[in-house]
Chains A and B, each alone.
Chain A
Amino acid sequence: MSTSSLHLVSSHDLPTTQLAMTEPLLKLDQIDTFYGQIQVHFGLNLSIGRGEIVSLLGGNASGKSTAMKVILGLHKPRNGTISFDGKPLNGLPTSQIVRRGIASVPEARRLFGDMTVRENLLMGAFVRSDRAGIAADYERMLELFPRVKERLTQRAGTLSGGEQQMLAMARALMSRPALVCMDEPTMGLSPLYVDKVLELIQTINRQGITFFMVEQNASLALQIAHRGYVLQTGRVVLSGTASELLGDQRIRDAYLGGSLAAETAS
């Protein structure tokens, strides 16, 4: 087992692409998060550029789910700033954050099980008031997600896991967001639906929507992501473009444990 010290690839070292040159859409700066006394994030820095698909990877207890909660305002960080589209997001309640243009596809979907598929979709557009726009987007979603269209009047709780994931994505897109945050989108899905979900993310991304994905399954995530960050015990220990990360043996260490965390400065 190699014990070479880890050379950290900082996002600043990345070859600048067209995407990365513009001001990042979402930026987390020196975020420290605590659950009571337990520190979960140590000076977390993340940035997501417009039009990108960025994946946050890491094993258990790495802090990646908490990162999602922090962005969505469900958990307040103790230090650090979050900015979206240049404006600060700190301290805003979730309902406000969502109105700014961030949509959420929560872990395990969190659909409104007793409401119909149609009602779930329309709940996605809760923050909007432009009826015509909502109706148009509704039709678009039905086209993009044919499985959803088939089950409009069914209660969301009766759908299969894969269908629920489709619905959850469609619901998120109904708010016409600039950024979609997805928490473990492939967890518990059959290979068929995993393919579909990943394909859909790419399709929608090509239309200009930015995606931020927290994902445990690194190889799946990196197949569609532009860039990725690898988190371990609350610190970014690796980052880079998808192909860089895919080829890097050290990602295995980050996942399976080891003393990578010691190397991280910050």
Chain B
Amino acid sequence: MDDSASQLKKFQKELSSGTVSLVLLGVLAQSRQPLYGYQIAKRLEGAEGVLAGKQSALYPVLRNLEGAGLLASEVEPSVSGPPRRYYRITKPGREVLREWVAAWNATRDAVDNVLQGGVS
């Protein structure tokens, strides 16, 4: 039991490493205005599967995406609270997202196909 739980955890960790980046890019591509970390975390709250992990895992991914030039960010002081770092998607980010979505769709379909016994 304990062994299968740790296997599941390991699998989720591996599965999440690419999908979280994809989802974060997707969220920022759909949003009309720039979002800060907390807002993004709120939008993903209630999601299932690997996205249900701890929200602290999102911040390093956001920073890496920014480092790769797929996101841009700026700090703005807010009236009601602390200064916030707003992220928005960049032009190369949108192009990368289009390719990632295509890769994701192909992978998802292929995996579903295999799991439903399409390959024998």
Are A and B a genuine interacting pair, yes or no?
no
Task: List chain B positions with a Cβ less than 8 A from chain A.
Answer: none
